[in-house]
Chain A
Amino acid sequence: MTVRKNQASLTAGEKRRFVAALLELKRSGRYDAFVSTHNDFIVSDTDHGPRTGHRSPSFLPWHRRFLLEFERALQSVDASVALPYWDWTTDSSVRSSLWAPDFLGGSGRSRDGRVTDGPFAASTGNWPIAVRVDERTYLRRALGAGGLRLPTRADVESVLSMPTYDMPPWNSGSDGFRNHLEGWRGVNLHNRVHVWVGGHMATGASPNDPVFWLHHAYIDKLWSEWQRRHPGSGYLPATGTPDVVDLDETMRPWHDTTPAALLDHTPHYTFDA
């Protein structure tokens, strides 16, 4: 059974195996297919048109399935690997072990944002940025640039306390838990973390940075915490909503799974806490 652990508690061996599996997916070309899929959805999901991966109720089940696909790909390389999560409310410093050279490497240098240490630095030759919107082929970050702060536990609590999953108009203008967690409204959790990391994480091709998976694994965990806290609240909308994935409708690009089928993560993985 897959157990997703806090990245801060990984052993050196677990970090090494996770990194090695990432590099192998990259080398084989499978990694970049995930980046492409994500960018395709991010540019096509619109507030007043069809929306599946983002700015819509299916933001959470879509990313749950996307991470499951990615985790299975990692496990096809090394069956012992699970996706770790990054709790950015506690590991909120650029000096966190997350950004050490034995794991994800640090921030980008000021001149061009280029990450210069760790396994994903361009100088290793192992992490070419192929799916992108500009000509730069090196991984970029700007951790906490401009003095931006990561969300606090109090910010998270204020969002977890919201009892309604999502509300009309089911987009970036919605009130409710999903849109506050996604961050288009209110204290801003998920979106703010993308901006805080900067570089590729701030773009539609954000999975170019491996921290994408750790960020979304924590967003996914917050969804399960919300479910535990509000056992009487379910996914919405239930039925008949144009351009939006209802509870029992299948999601692109897989066409074989519904939000209803993804509400319970425990058949696929559990968390360490």
Chain B
Amino acid sequence: MPELSRRRALTAAAALTVTAGAAAAHGTTARAAADDDHGHHSSPDSFDEVYKGRRIQGRPASGGGHHHHGGPPVAVFVDGVELHVMQNADGTWISVVSHYDPVPTPRAAARAAVDELQGSPLLPFPATSATAATAVATAAAAN
């Protein structure tokens, strides 16, 4: 990337709010929680499998933290990073990387996300402005 564009990318990154450290810590916490909970499958939506070389997991949402009123009953992870999923009124599911295309189960949403990601690591959610900063800086520096 040319120097000028790189600076532009870094400027955009700097405008974003959550720090790289917070994002990384969030990812670590999500993985630890998933691992601690391994084997505890009280929900029909729970799963744990390797799909296309990546570990996808679904487990009952803790009720604390991210999932306030109206939140989904299950939390989904791709290689330990939480994927934001949502259940529709008719019982179907979507995720933030496939938001306009309902599928029948959280596992199907996780698989659709792996397909969509084409090997790319997921960034911890809340996505949007929260997580972009480091990766943009990294990508800009690498180019």
Contact = CB atoms under 8 A, between A and B. Distances in A.
Chains A and B form a bound pair: yes
A132 B100 contact: no
B136 A202 contact: no
B70 A49 contact: yes
A133 B1 CA distance: 22
Nearest to A182: B100
Nearest to A33: B15
Interface string A59-100: 000000000000000000000000000000000000000000
Contacts of A50: 70
B15 A32 contact: yes
Given A135-B121, A195-B101, A43 B126 contact: yes
Interface residues of A, number: 46
B71 interface: yes
Interface stretch (B31-39, B41-49, B91-99): B91-99
Nearest to B4: A125
A24 B59 CA distance: 44
Given A49-B69, A128-B5, A136-B120, A202 B86 contact: no
A130 interface: yes
B125 A173 contact: no
Contacts of B125: 43, 133
A147 B93 CA distance: 22
Interface residues of B, number: 47
Interface in B102-122: 102, 116-118, 120-122
Contacts of B120: 134-136
A88 to B, nearest CB: 14
A134 B5 contact: no
B14 to A, nearest CB: 9
Interface of A: 27, 29, 32-33, 35-36, 39-40, 42-43, 46-50, 55, 112-113, 124-126, 128, 130-137, 169, 171-173, 183-184, 190-192, 194-195, 202-206
Interface of B: 1-2, 4-6, 8-9, 11-13, 15-16, 68-71, 84, 86-90, 96-102, 116-118, 120-123, 125-129, 131-132, 135-136, 139-140
